[in-house]
């Protein structure tokens, strides 16, 4: 679809079938297979027509379209079409046998066509806005660096390993101002390195629209079925946040001097800087005369599990029309929703999503800043209040232990071979 559109200017309409997608549905945990591997697995009897056309041992790239082939492009294209057509006949039968034909035809392939159109259209990008955001973030980084060096009395690297630094810094930030400065520096630096620099590097100018656009590539071959994007990853754009910029911004010390040398403490200014809202999303813009529409599902995961678990009490709360998490918090605490404060609401939200994604008492306790026993009590209270959830979670695990996989409502499978393992991890 994409190759025809880009190379020939041809747009395909009607239903499409992709053998790679079909193979992935049948075995979502396997590595992405080349076309040759797929033909060898699903249409091996037809491989005879490739004799003399593909070098011996060649298992990468295209089939009859291999660059080493001396036949005309028309003959090679026809050869490959015959192989793919034969392969899809076998794949269709396997999809029907596993009950995946609906998921393939009505879910996955329409999604693939939608993703292709997204990749071809790209996303509008404002260079001026991105430059503005970069200047703000880099200025904030320099300010934070100077403050960190002042508090530590020497310069040092602020990019120490995440797994060690974050744990230590989170525990120390209430005892000393330096960890807070480092954590903020890392947040700002992440916005620069994960969003600003990649999108500036990947932008392309669209002559017809007279604007820069970003053309990410979608990745669908995952065991969970989750779609991701790369080059750049537009799903990794951070939420809006505020930073404070001083009226005078100091320069960072040279890279070669950032180790252990002592530095003079600059006097701390009593003048607070200006507050600046940073929204990375403002760099993504519509074309002239267009608009961007933002839409989101309301408590999607919670509504799904209420349906799957057939929990009448949770469904009643969700269909009540009020603030869902305030109502759940009131249900757990025996209060009217109007009497629930913001802290109780946030706690109920964390409990709901934590239980949906299988969080343990220890991890939930760390999120809620509670002891493990108290967190365990909240989990049990939720499951007792919404007993359908408890039954659904238990029956799902039991069924998975028997079959080795879980299924979605469209019969997609997620194989979990370690479900019966005695090893806790």
Could you check whether the bond before residue 23 is cis, i.e. omega within 30 degrees of 0? no
DSSP string, 85-148: HHHHHHHHHHHHHTT-HHIIIIIIHHHHHHHHHHHHH-EEE-HHHHHHHHHHHHHHHHHHHHHH
Residues 94/26, Cβ–Cβ less than 8 Å: yes
Using CA atoms, how far residue 326 sits from 344, 355, 366, in Å, is 8, 17, 22
Coil, strand or helix at 242: strand
With 0-12 / 13-18 / 19 or more C-beta atoms within 10 angstroms meaning exposed / middle / buried, residue 79 is buried
Active site residue 341: no
The single-letter DSSP state of residue 284 is B
- Residue 425 CB: number of other CB atoms within 10 A? 4
Q: Report the C-alpha gap between 238 and 188 in whole angstroms.
A: 10
Residue among 163, 270, 296, 342 flagged as catalytic: 296
- List, in order, residues 6 or more apart from 73 with CB less than 8 Å away: 65
Active site residues: 296
């Amino acid at each position: 679809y994409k190759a025809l559109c880009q190379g020939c200017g041809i747009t395909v309409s009607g239903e499409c079938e992709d053998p790679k997608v079909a193979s992935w549905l049948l075995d979502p945990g396997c590595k992405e297979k080349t076309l040759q591997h797929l033909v060898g697995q699903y249409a091996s009897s037809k491989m005879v027509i490739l004799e003399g056309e593909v070098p011996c041992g060649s298992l990468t790239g295209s089939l009859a379209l291999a660059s080493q082939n001396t036949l005309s492009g028309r003959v090679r294209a026809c050869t490959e079409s015959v192989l793919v057509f034969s392969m899809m006949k076998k794949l269709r039968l396997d999809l029907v046998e596993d009950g995946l034909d609906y998921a393939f035809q009505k879910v996955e392939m329409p999604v693939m066509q939608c993703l292709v159109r997204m990749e071809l259209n790209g996303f509008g990008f404002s260079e001026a806005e991105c430059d503005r955001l970069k200047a703000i973030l880099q200025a904030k980084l320099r300010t934070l660096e100077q403050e960190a060096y002042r508090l530590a009395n020497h310069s040092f690297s602020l990019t120490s390993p995440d797994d060690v630094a974050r744990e230590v810094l989170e525990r120390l930030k209430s005892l000393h101002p330096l960890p807070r400065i480092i954590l903020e520096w890392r947040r700002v630096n992440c916005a620069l390195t994960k969003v600003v620099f990649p999108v500036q590097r990947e932008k392309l100018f669209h002559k017809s629209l007279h604007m820069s656009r970003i053309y990410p590539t979608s990745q669908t071959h995952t065991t969970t079925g989750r779609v991701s994007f790369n080059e750049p990853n537009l799903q990794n754009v951070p939420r809006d946040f505020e930073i404070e910029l001083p009226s005078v911004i100091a320069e960072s010390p040279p890279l070669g001097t950032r180790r252990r040398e002592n530095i003079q403490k600059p006097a701390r200014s009593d003048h607070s800087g200006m507050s600046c809202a940073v929204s990375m999303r403002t760099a993504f813009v519509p074309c002239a005369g267009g608009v961007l529409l933002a839409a989101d599902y309301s408590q999607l995961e919670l509504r799904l599990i209420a349906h799957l678990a057939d929990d009448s009490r949770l469904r009643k709360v969700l269909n009540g029309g009020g603030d869902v998490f305030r109502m759940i918090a009131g249900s757990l605490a025996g209060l009217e929703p109007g009497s629930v404060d913001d802290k109780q609401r946030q706690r109920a939200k964390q409990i709901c999503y934590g239980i949906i994604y299988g969080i343990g008492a220890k991890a939930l306790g760390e999120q809620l800043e509670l002891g493990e026993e108290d967190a365990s009590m909240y989990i049990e209270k939720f499951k007792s209040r919404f007993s359908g959830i408890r039954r659904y979670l238990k029956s799902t695990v039991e069924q998975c232990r028997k079959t080795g996989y879980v299924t979605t409502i469209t019969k997609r499978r997620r194989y979990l071979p370690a479900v019966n393992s005695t090893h806790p991890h």
